[in-house]
Structure 1
Amino acid sequence: MDSIDQTPSGLPRRLPPSNTQAEQALLGALLANNKAFERVSDFLAPEHFADPIHGRIYQAIARRCEQNQVADPITLRAELEHAGVLEEVGGTAYLAQLLSAMVGIINAGDYGRLIHDAWLRRQLIDIGELMVNDAYASEAELDGRAQIEKSEQSLFNLATKGGSEGKGVSFHDALVAAIELAEKAFRNQGSVSGLDTGLRDLNKRTGGLHKSDLIILAGRPGMGKTALVTKVAFGAAKAMLNNARAENPNAMAKECVVIFSLEMSADQLATRLLAEQAMVSGDKIRRGEISTKDFDTFVRVSREIADVPLVIDDTPAITLSALRTRCRRLQRTQGLGLVIVDYLQLMRPALGTKPESRVLEISQITQGLKAIAKELAVPVIALSQLSRSVESRDDKRPQLSDLRESGSIEQDADMVMFIYRDEYYLAQREPKITNFDRDDKFQEAHEKWQADMQSVYQKAELIIAKQRHGPTGKIDLFFEGEFTRFADLDTLHE
C-alpha cells in the first residue's frame, strides 16, 4: 500500500510501497502451519520484506522449515534468543501478536505475492531515482547511450533475478510437447521439425534449427562464414514468409530473423544478399561495373524479396544487454524466429562488468546468448573466429580445440559447426617455377596441382563437430565465390 506523509513544508510526501498487514498476516500463517511455507518458498526471500524485523522473523522460520523442524512462537523464541535478536524483533509478545494477525492459512500465497510485488515496485523506484540522478549529473561517467544500456541492464536483472515464481513443467506436459515435435517432423517430408535453414542436407542432419539452441558457426577468415549464415538467415526468413502465405497470399510473416552484423554495415549485407539472389558478382557491384541488364535484374529481385522478414542491426561492438533488449523488443513487436550474431568476438559483455580475462569475457557472452535463446525460445547462431593454430597443421580442417577461448564456447553451445574450403588453401600452394631446377618437374607439379584444384573447385565442407541432440559429421556444400553463394552440392552445374 502506498503511504502519504507530510513534509516539513506541509506538502504531501510519498513513501515507498509496502504492505505491513500482508507481512504480519503471512508470518502469522507460517507460524500457525509450517506447510504454508511451501506456497511462498520458491519466490519470497527475507530481503523482500519492507520491515527488516519481519525479514528476520521470516528468515528464522525458513531456516527451521528447510531443516524439517517445527517453527512456532515457542521454538522461534529459543532460536531468536540464542541468536541474540529476540528483543530486536519485538520479543515473545510480538510473535504472539503475529499469530493473531493471521487471517487464514489458505491466503499465504496471496500474502507472499503482495509482499513480493511491493518489493519489486521499491526496486523500480530505486532504479528510476538512479536514472534521474545519473541523467542530471553534469560530469557523468557514462554518456546518454551508455546510461540507457545501464538502466536496461538493471531492469533486465530485476525481471530475471527478482525472485519471481519458478514454474516447473510436469512430465505429462513435457511428453505432450515431445510428441508434438515428433509429429511435426513426421508431417514434413524433409524431416524438418525446427526452422528451415534453406540447405536441404543441413536440414536432414539437424532437423532444422531448434528453439532455445545456441549454435556456433566458426571458421578462419576467407572461409565464407558470413556468406553461409546469410544464406541460412535468408532461407529461414523466406520459409517464415511462405508459411504465412500458405493460406493468405497477401499475409505478412508472423516472425522475423534478426542479424546483428558487428563487422559489415547493413547496406553491405543487403548488397551481398541482393547479389546472391540476382546472381550478379559482388566484386562488379563494388567497382560499379554492372550492366543495364544487371541493374534491371537487381530491381526485379529486390521487389521479389522485399517482404522477406529480415532485420539487420549493424550497431558496432554491441553489448550483451543491448542485444538482449532489442531481441525482446522485436519479439514483442514483430515476433522473433531466429537471432544471428556476426561475430562473437566483436561483442562486449554487459555494461558495468569488467571480466578479469578475455576468456571470462567470452564466457559471459556465450552464457548470455544461451540465456537469450532459452528466454525467447528461439535459435541463436553466433559466428566465431578460430585461432591461428589451424594454419600450422598440414590438415587445416578445424577442430573444437581451435575455437578461440574454446572452453566456454564449446561448453555453452548446443551445436558447433565449422566451415572449411580446401580450395582456399590449395590456391595458395600453386607451384612456382623458381622452386624447380627443371621445367618438366615444374610442369608435372603444376598439372597435379591443377587436377587437385579441379577436384575441390566450388566445394566446401560444413563440419558438425558437436551436436547435443544428434550426430556429428560432415556435409558437402557448393560454394560459388563470385556470388559468395552457398547451396546444396547437387546444384553445382545448375
Structure 2
Amino acid sequence: MNDAARKLAPLPKDQADQHYREAPNNLEAEQALLGAILVNNDAFYRVSDFLKPVHLYEPLHRKIFEVAGEIIRMGKTANPVTVKTFLKADDKVGDLTVAQYLARLAAEAVSIINAEDYGRAIYDLALRRSLITIGEDMVNIAFDAPLDMPPQSQIEDAERRLFELAETGRYDGGFQSFNDAVALAIDMAGQAFERDGHLSGISTGIHSLDGKMGGLQRSDLIILAGRPGMGKTSLATNIAYNIAASYEPEVQPDGSFKARNGGVVGFYSLEMSSEQLATRIISEQTEVSSSKIRRGDISEADFEKLVACSQMMQKVPLYIDQTGGISIAQLAARARRLKRQRGLDVLVVDYVQLMSGSKKSGENRVQEITEITTGLKALGKELNVPIIALSQLSRAVESREDKRPQLSDLRESGSIEQDADVVLFVFREEYYVKNMEPRDELDPKYEEWKMQMERVKGTADVIIAKQRHGPTGTVKLAFQSEFTRFSDLADPSFTQYEH
C-alpha cells in the first residue's frame, strides 16, 4: 500500500530491537494487477484460472479482486466507479478514502501485458506463505509432542498438506462457487463425448458393465463384494489390467501428463503377493492356466507366449503394493506419493477387512471399518480418482435358499453401504450348482442337475445393488475359471436387466 498506510505506531524499544520477519508479500504487484484489471477487464481473464482472492496478501486488495471478478463474470464493466459501491465507503487507506484509492490504482495502472506476470508473482508468494504456515505447524506440533499425534501421524499429516498444496495450490478446503461446479460438469460431458465409447468415466474394458455404469467415475468409492470363490479379486484384477493396458497419455500445457484413455493404476494387494497377482494376469492374457504356470506344466509354445506377454506387460502402468495390514493413513500417504511421481487414475484395494484403522478405534471393529471406508471416500475425493475397494460378505448368504447377495450382507458395518457410491456384488451360480452334484450318476436328479449346470456354466452375474448416478440391475458376464477371466458374453440372448 502507499507509505501512509504502512506507518504503524512506534513499538517499545525492547520489542522494536527484536528481529521481525514479515510474511512474503508484494503489495506493489497487487496494486499493479488490480490497476490493470480496473482499466481493462480482459486482464482479469489472464489470471482468473489460477489466481483467487485468498492469494492476495492485503485484505482490501482481496475484496477489490473478488468484487471486480464477480462484476466481470456477470458481463458488466468493473471500474473504480462500479467497484466502490460494493466496498465500505468509510474505510480509509492511509489518508485516502476507498474511492480515491481505487481511482489512484486505475491512474497508475501498468500495461495489460504484464498482468499475468504480476499474477504469477502474487500466486508464488501466496504458496510461500502457505509453506511457512505448514512448516510452523510442523515445528510447533513436534515441540509439543502431543500423545494423540505420534511422529508417524505428524509425517502423514504434513505429507497430506504438502500434497494438497502441490496439487491445487491451496492447503485448506473452502467453498467452491456453483459457477465453477457447472463449468466442471460441462467439461466432463465434453470429455465423455470425445473419449472412446463416449463414457463419462474410465472404461473397465468390459462393455456391458460400462453400459450400466458409464465407466468408473472420478472420486467415486466403488465397493466390489462377494463370498470367497466368487471371483471378486479376479474381476478387480481384470479391470485394473484393462485400464492400465489401454493407457494413452496426453501432454498438458504445463508439461504434465493426463490420461486420454485408460489410466495409471495403483493396486493394494493385502491378500496376495505381487507374484500371485502377476501370475493371474499372465494367465488371463495368454490363456494358459495359472495352475499349470505354477506347476511348470507348460509346453514350449506356451512358454514363448508367457515371455512375449511379460515383455508387453512391462510397459503397462500398473503398480502393486503388497504390504499386509496397511493402515488407511499409510495407504493414503503412498497413494499421494504415487500420484506425484508416476501419476494415478484408479486405485484398487484388495480387501477392506484386511486393512487396519487407528489405535483409537482398535477395540471396536465396526468403528474401525467405518474409519477405513470414510477414509477411502475422502482419499478418492482428494486425489480425484475412483477407488475400487473389495469387501467380504457375511456368512448369512450361505444359509439362505437364494444365494444372491444383498446390501444387508456387507460385513461388519453399515458404513460400507453408506459411504459407497457404487456397490457391486459378484455372484457365480455355477459355484453353488457344482457343489450340489448328485453322487450317483443313475440318480434321477442327475439329469436335472446336468441341465442346470449347462445353463449356468461359464457365466457370472455382477449385481449393481447401489449406484448414485445410474440404474441398479444385473450384468451377465462370461467367466473362464481356468484363466480367472471375466469378459462380455458372446451370446446376445443374455441381456442386462434392471431392477
Q: Above 0.5 in TM-score?
A: yes
- The 8 Å contact of residues 424 and 462 in structure 2, kept in 1 or not, is answered as yes
Gap regions ≥5 residues in structure 1:
1-14, 23-34, 40-98, 135-145, 246-250, 434-438
Q: Tell me, yes or no, if structure 1 residue 273 matches structure 2 residue 287.
A: no
Q: Tell me, yes or no, if structure 1 residue 313 matches structure 2 residue 327.
A: no
Q: CA deviation at 1:415?
A: 0.3
Q: Which residue of 1 aligns with 2:401?
A: 394
1:103, 1:273 → 2: CA distance?
72
1:43-70 Cα deviation digits (max 9, x unpaired):
xxxxxxxxxxxxxxxxxxxxxxxxxxxx
User: Residue type of the partner of 1:287?
Assistant: R
- The 8 Å contact of residues 218 and 383 in structure 1, kept in 2 or not, is answered as yes
Is the partner of 2:228 in helix, strand or coil?
coil
Q: CA deviation at 1:293?
A: 1.4
Q: CA deviation at 1:303?
A: 1.6
Q: Tell me, yes or no, if structure 1 residue 483 matches structure 2 residue 483.
A: yes
Q: Relative to 1, partners in 2 of residues 1:121 and 1:303: Cα closer, same or farther, differing over 3 Å? A: closer
Q: Which residue of 2 aligns with 1:329?
A: 337
1:401-442 Cα deviation digits (max 9, x unpaired):
000024100110000000000000011111133xxxxx86x1
Q: Which residue of 1 aligns with 2:383?
A: 376
Q: CA deviation at 1:183?
A: 2.4
Q: Tell me, yes or no, if structure 1 residue 153 matches structure 2 residue 156.
A: yes
Q: Which residue of 1 aligns with 2:135?
A: 121
Q: Relative to 1, partners in 2 of residues 1:284 and 1:113: Cα closer, same or farther, differing over 3 Å? A: closer
1:100, 1:193 → 2: CA distance?
50
User: Residue type of the partner of 1:314?
Assistant: Q
Q: CA deviation at 1:357?
A: 1.2
Pairing of 1:38-117 with structure 2 (within 5 A): none
Is the partner of 1:202 in helix, strand or coil?
helix
Q: Which residue of 2 aligns with 1:58?
A: none
- The 8 Å contact of residues 212 and 378 in structure 1, kept in 2 or not, is answered as yes
Pairing of 1:316-465 with structure 2 (within 5 A): 316-350=324-358, 352-433=359-440, 442=443, 444-465=444-465
Is the partner of 2:447 in helix, strand or coil?
helix
1:274, 1:189 → 2: CA distance?
26
- The 8 Å contact of residues 268 and 321 in structure 2, kept in 1 or not, is answered as yes
Q: CA deviation at 1:123?
A: 1.7
Q: Relative to 1, partners in 2 of residues 1:458 and 1:423: Cα closer, same or farther, differing over 3 Å? A: same
Q: Which residue of 2 aligns with 1:287?
A: 295
1:299, 1:148 → 2: CA distance?
45
Q: CA deviation at 1:196?
A: 1.2
Q: Relative to 1, partners in 2 of residues 1:483 and 1:130: Cα closer, same or farther, differing over 3 Å? A: farther
**CA RMSD in angstroms, aligned pairs only:** 4.0
2:479, 2:218 → 1: CA distance?
28
User: Residue type of the partner of 1:123?
Assistant: D
Is the partner of 2:348 in helix, strand or coil?
strand
2:269, 2:305 → 1: CA distance?
26
User: Residue type of the partner of 1:451?
Assistant: M
- The 8 Å contact of residues 361 and 367 in structure 2, kept in 1 or not, is answered as no
Is the partner of 1:416 in helix, strand or coil?
strand
- The 8 Å contact of residues 268 and 350 in structure 2, kept in 1 or not, is answered as yes
User: Residue type of the partner of 2:377?
Assistant: K
Partner residue of 1:199 out of 184, 194, 206: 206
2:364, 2:446 → 1: CA distance?
47
2:408, 2:303 → 1: CA distance?
45
User: Residue type of the partner of 1:387?
Assistant: S
Q: Relative to 1, partners in 2 of residues 1:252 and 1:121: Cα closer, same or farther, differing over 3 Å? A: closer
The share of aligned pairs that are identical, in percent, is 45
Is the partner of 1:461 in helix, strand or coil?
strand
Q: CA deviation at 1:239?
A: 2.1
Pairing of 1:125-144 with structure 2 (within 5 A): 125-129=139-143
- The 8 Å contact of residues 17 and 118 in structure 1, kept in 2 or not, is answered as no
Stretch of structure 1 that moved more, 315-324 or 177-186: 177-186
Q: CA deviation at 1:167?
A: 3.9
2:156, 2:287 → 1: CA distance?
43
Partner residue of 2:192 out of 182, 185, 198: 185
Q: CA deviation at 1:114?
A: 9.7
- The 8 Å contact of residues 221 and 377 in structure 2, kept in 1 or not, is answered as yes
1:253, 1:445 → 2: CA distance?
54
Q: Relative to 1, partners in 2 of residues 1:270 and 1:179: Cα closer, same or farther, differing over 3 Å? A: same
Q: Relative to 1, partners in 2 of residues 1:342 and 1:404: Cα closer, same or farther, differing over 3 Å? A: same
User: Residue type of the partner of 2:224?
Assistant: L
- The 8 Å contact of residues 366 and 412 in structure 1, kept in 2 or not, is answered as yes
1:387, 1:371 → 2: CA distance?
25
Is the partner of 2:360 in helix, strand or coil?
coil
1:435-484 Cα deviation digits (max 9, x unpaired):
xxxx86x1x20011011000000000000000001110000000000111
2:339, 2:126 → 1: CA distance?
31
- The 8 Å contact of residues 202 and 243 in structure 2, kept in 1 or not, is answered as yes
How many residues align? The count is 383
Q: CA deviation at 1:186?
A: 2.9
- The 8 Å contact of residues 195 and 208 in structure 1, kept in 2 or not, is answered as yes
- The 8 Å contact of residues 370 and 413 in structure 2, kept in 1 or not, is answered as no
Q: Relative to 1, partners in 2 of residues 1:103 and 1:369: Cα closer, same or farther, differing over 3 Å? A: farther
Q: CA deviation at 1:182?
A: 1.8
Q: Which residue of 2 aligns with 1:68?
A: none
Is the partner of 2:202 in helix, strand or coil?
coil
Provide TM-score, normalisation by structure 1.
0.68
Q: Which residue of 2 aligns with 1:471?
A: 471
Q: Relative to 1, partners in 2 of residues 1:229 and 1:118: Cα closer, same or farther, differing over 3 Å? A: closer
- The 8 Å contact of residues 204 and 215 in structure 2, kept in 1 or not, is answered as yes
